Amino acid sequence: MSTEIHQKINQLREELRQHNHNYYVLDHAVISDYDFDVKLKELQELEKENPQYFDANSPTQRVGGGITKNFETVTHKNRMYSLDNSYSKEDLQDWEKRIQKNLGDENLEYTCELKYDGASINLTYKNGKLINAVTRGDGFQGDDVTINIKTIKSVPLVLQGDFVDYFEIRGEIILPLEGFNKMNKERIDAGEDPYRNPRNTASGSLKLQDSAEVAKRPLDCLLYHIVADELPFESHFKTLENAREIGFKVPDAIEVCKNIDEVFNFINHWNIERHNLPYETDGVVVKVNNLYQQDELGYTAKAPRWAIAYKFKAEQESTILHEITYQVGRTGAITPVANLEPVLLAGTIVKRASLHNADQIERLDIRVEDTVFVEKGGEIIPKVVKVDFTKRLTHSQPTKYITHCPDCNTLLERKEGDAKHYCPNQYGCPTQITGRIQHFISRKAMDIDGLGAETVELLFKEGLISNYADLYDLQEEQIIPLERMAEKSAQNMVLGIENSKKIPFEKVLFALGIRFVGETVAKKLAKHYKSIDQLMIASFEDLVSVDEIGDRIAQSIVDFSNDLSNIQLIDRLKSYNVQLEMSVESQVNQTDKLQGKAFVVSGVFTKMSRNELKKAIEDNGGKVSSSISKKTSYVVAGDKMGPSKRTKAENLKILIINENDFLEMIE
């Protein structure tokens, strides 16, 4: 009897999975909703009576019901890069020239796909089953939202055929327009404010604590990229075709193009047809189709070289500029802001837009009470792009840019060649002080739970902190009496600050807020100097000798290191045991054997993957380049090395070594 029940449960699960796939992926239902619900209820009863046959990937788990108070932060096995943007055919042609420079005379073809406007997600499958779903986050780590993703019917929990044993598939969680409009009608009928746009609503849905609430929302998942150590396909297009066959919802709007002209035909078609789609899209993603060529091209610090996003022309609206105000950044940079008559732009109500700097205001002759045109730069950040002079008021006066800081009244400075004005009162300007602390606690930096931007301003206002080192002196009894604070909030904040002492050195270095030292530069400096002490005694000449560290960054580090206030802050952070040097663990297997050597890796390898080989070069102090030049020390050549690269290396008399030669170098 037990075997029969187990067989019945498995049979129902398989039937329901297939019906889900038919309805939500293929858009072809073969049974009624009523019949589906009857089968689902039967399965729920059988699983309830036979808990020994529980399966986390059963169709019954899609109804939700689990509560998540805090979503666990997970480090991506493979980084989720962003995409470089283009806005014209010339931009795409320039991109193609860069690719051809890297690949030589190899034949190129591209895939074109729509760029979906939603929340990025990374799904991991092992042995044909979904094991986790993680948001993009900062690209290096995101939130585990598996319990909520399982409620989305178009996400397969169990695959319908064979694929690689372990892989990641990436896509976008979207909210179709019909479902979004229905949700808003229900909210308006209930007397609640409508949601602003589908993208933000989809993104917010993933972080709802009650998965049963997520299950009520008509979310969908469109997939477009697979990452695995090895794929049994030669092209991106073929990979997606196979992904569609085993149950993934891969959109049909994908096309292989032989050249940039065909790419632009695809763009022109969808620039019009996108308005007939059931969901929002803001552009086209163009990718090199051949997976080997993708591998060969690799990545920059921020984006794949083998892909680019073409953004459709930004939507533009006119409105009235009522006032110009000025924001102070953590570096003292002043940004003028247009305060506008609210206007609906690309699905969002816009009230404020950037005016960039004094030169932009003067160039466009922007004045208060002008009718101005606003668009979203890259459809993200609103900006004023021009003035409607036909509607200018007769008493209009030219805008006079402020001369003093709006927060501390210090006379502003503007250095030659710099577009922005700056407030030089670094340690006395309230906004600069709180801005540096807010940067310090941010997710990409110290990632301090229980502490946000508003709380930082409150702590500063109450005199409890005046720099980021002061955070480590905070006590619960100081925090509890503050507005909107309670014992639990105070405990979480103090615990979050304590846990930040485990954050690795490269993130701490970024958190310090040294001007021009972003995430990538911080990692490079941490790896090179190993500790804050070694970095702060480095001379300008020593700094510029480090790969990719230019004069501007070097001078900024020297200025930071020579400032007594910064030296005192660093000493305090040391006393609190903040990680100000590379850990022993992070330096395991790292040497200087390849110091000063530049490598180009090309071809297919047998003993290690291309990524493992590149990591081994960097772990031993070498530099990995994507293209061969006079600065290249060695070319590590594998099977199927590009003939043009081999010819160039031979012409430049650069030594070509194989995988075994390289391994001997580092052993």
Same domain, residue pair 109 and 216: yes
Q: What is the CATH number of the domain that holds 171?
A: 3.30.470.30
Q: Which two tokens stand for residue 642?
A: 């590009």
- Tell me how far apart the alpha carbons of residues 182 and 278 are, in angstroms, rounded to a whole number: 13
Asked if residue 471 lies in contact with residue 465, where contact means CB atoms within 8 angstroms, the answer is yes
Tell whether the torsion through CA atoms of 589, 592, 597 and 598 is positive or negative: positive
Asked if residue 285 lies in contact with residue 115, where contact means CB atoms within 8 angstroms, the answer is yes
Q: Which two tokens stand for residue 621?
A: 């102090």
Asked if residue 322 lies in contact with residue 339, where contact means CB atoms within 8 angstroms, the answer is yes
Same domain, residue pair 254 and 135: yes
pLDDT of residue 380: 64
In a domain, 593, yes or no: no
Same domain, residue pair 276 and 195: yes
Tell whether the torsion through CA atoms of 235, 626, 507 and 457 is positive or negative: negative
Global pTM value: 0.77
Could you give the number of structural domains in the chain? 6
Longest dimension (CA), the chain: 91
Active site residue 69: no
What are 602's strand-pairing partners? 637
In a domain, 77, yes or no: no
Give 335-349 pLDDT, tens digit per residue: 999 999 999 887 678
Give 419-443 pLDDT, tens digit per residue: 899 999 999 999 999 999 999 999 8
Give 285-299 pLDDT, tens digit per residue: 999 999 989 988 888
Same domain, residue pair 353 and 265: no
How far, CA to CA in Å, does 324 sit from each of 119, 358, 361, 373?
A: 33, 12, 10, 15
In a domain, 340, yes or no: yes
Q: Which two tokens stand for residue 415?
A: 């250095």
Helices and strands, number each (H, E), in the chain:
24, 20
Q: What is the CATH number of the domain that holds 50?
A: 1.10.287.610
- Residue at a domain's end among 399, 422, 445: 422
- Residue at a domain's end among 450, 484, 502: 502
Asked if residue 464 lies in contact with residue 478, where contact means CB atoms within 8 angstroms, the answer is yes
pLDDT of residue 338: 96
Same domain, residue pair 146 and 260: yes
In the chain, the amino acid numbered 198 is P
Asked if residue 291 lies in contact with residue 231, where contact means CB atoms within 8 angstroms, the answer is yes
Same domain, residue pair 102 and 231: yes
Same domain, residue pair 524 and 482: no
In a domain, 592, yes or no: no
Asked if residue 326 lies in contact with residue 406, where contact means CB atoms within 8 angstroms, the answer is yes
Smallest CA-to-CA distance from 271 within 249, 252, 250, 253 is with 253
Same domain, residue pair 517 and 446: no
In the chain, the amino acid numbered 356 is H
pLDDT of residue 377: 64
Burial class (CB in 10 A: 0-12, 13-18, 19+), 479: buried
- Tell me how far apart the alpha carbons of residues 417 and 455 are, in angstroms, rounded to a whole number: 37
CA 569 to chain centre: 31
Strand 220-227 to 129-135 pairing: unpaired
How far, CA to CA in Å, does 530 sit from each of 160, 505, 593, 624?
A: 49, 8, 16, 20
User: What residue numbers bound the domain in which 642 lies?
Assistant: 598-666
Which residue ranges of the chain lie beneath pLDDT 50? Answer: none
Euclidean distance between the first and final Cα of the chain, in Å?
Answer: 61
Q: What is the CATH number of the domain that holds 364?
A: 2.40.50.140
pLDDT of residue 376: 79
- Tell me how far apart the alpha carbons of residues 232 and 92 are, in angstroms, rounded to a whole number: 29
- Tell me how far apart the alpha carbons of residues 225 and 425 are, in angstroms, rounded to a whole number: 48
Q: What does residue 352 show for φ and ψ, rounded to 5 degrees?
A: -135, 150
Helix 33-49 × helix 2-20 angle, to 10°: 150
What's the CA angle centered on 580, arms 577 and 581, to 5 degrees? 120
Tell whether the torsion through CA atoms of 510, 514, 520 and 521 is positive or negative: negative
Same domain, residue pair 453 and 550: no
Burial class (CB in 10 A: 0-12, 13-18, 19+), 207: middle
Q: What is the CATH number of the domain that holds 449?
A: 1.10.150.20
Smallest CA-to-CA distance from 63 within 187, 147, 5 is with 147
Give 134-191 pLDDT, tens digit per residue: 999 888 889 999 999 999 999 999 998 888 899 999 999 999 999 999 999 998 988 8
Same domain, residue pair 141 and 232: yes
Residue entry with tokens 């949700």: 183
pLDDT of residue 353: 93
How far, CA to CA in Å, does 318 sit from each of 81, 235, 339, 369, 398?
A: 34, 45, 13, 12, 20
Indicate which residue of 8, 89, 97, 115 is catalytic: 115
In a domain, 178, yes or no: yes
pLDDT of residue 617: 92
pLDDT of residue 202: 93
Same domain, residue pair 212 and 345: no
- Tell me how far apart the alpha carbons of residues 306 and 293 are, in angstroms, rounded to a whole number: 8
Same domain, residue pair 415 and 434: no
In a domain, 73, yes or no: no
In a domain, 32, yes or no: yes
- Residue at a domain's end among 390, 405, 422: 422
What are 88's strand-pairing partners? none
Asked if residue 249 lies in contact with residue 24, where contact means CB atoms within 8 angstroms, the answer is yes
269's enclosing H/E stretch is helix 260-273
